[in-house]
Amino acid sequence: GLLYRPPARFSGRRPVMINIHGGPERGQARPTWIGRSNYFLNDTGIAIIYPNVRGSSGLGKAFRELDNGVLRENATKDIGALLDWIATRSDLDQDRVLVTGASYGGYLTLAAFTTYNDRIRCAFAGFPISNMVTELERIEPSRRDTRRPEYGDERDPQVRATLERIAPVNNADKIRRPLFLAHGQNDPRVPVAESQQMAAAVKKNGTPLWYIIAKDEGHGFARRPNGDFLMHAWAFFMEEYLVK
């Protein structure tokens, strides 16, 4: 993975953002321009880590397949190992960690948040998968066959049982810390119902929930006004629950 350190003027242990890429196949964190995330790095002093968990591309076929189907939890465990590593660092604050990601990265955000909720301060998931079974059942039939080799074939009873057991929406009762969800109403790749069912489940916990549905967006926030609004909302969320 990649660690981006904030400027030296920010002293002491820094809050951390773990930003998980989508994909997972054909997805890889590499050194690049990080766009609006520079605001969090340079203006709020948040350190940013972009991990390459099992299933990421660019590290060989064997590594890429280590999270397929019933092995899905391997990628979540990698976030747990990253939390362990953060705890060893004198420059990072293990008590102020946010996990974020979009699409499949949103799935891993929710999976890590339900698994390690006592170690993660807050989370922001963009157009996330909250249950791979319901996601496969809801998407267009033409997309299912391309996703089943990666996500697992939900028609197989053993695979289905595993995916249901680890689905974030089925473990939402473990979430006791602030969560932010954002989704496009017209998303063809991850149906908006994935966020809707997660929001409904988390509301039962009485924990802070920030929730945005953009009625004129698809898979992502492509329109400038929507992107600006989401960025400001995200900044307020970080200020309220992570930086303080």
* Cβ pair 140, 190 in contact under 8 A: no
The catalytically annotated residue of 21, 78, 187, 195 is 187
Nearest to 53 by CA among 85, 26, 77, 30: 77
Catalytic status, residue 173: no
The catalytically annotated residue of 57, 91, 156, 219 is 219
Catalytic status, residue 103: yes
The catalytically annotated residue of 21, 67, 93, 103 is 103
Helices H / strands E in the chain, number of each = 9, 7
State the Cα–Cα distance between residues 41 and 115, nearest whole angstrom.
26
State the Cα–Cα distance between residues 111 and 18, nearest whole angstrom.
13
Q: What is the dihedral of CA 7, 8, 11, 16, to 10 degrees?
A: 40
Q: How many CA atoms lie within 13 A of 80 on its CB side?
A: 12
Catalytic positions are: 103, 187, 219
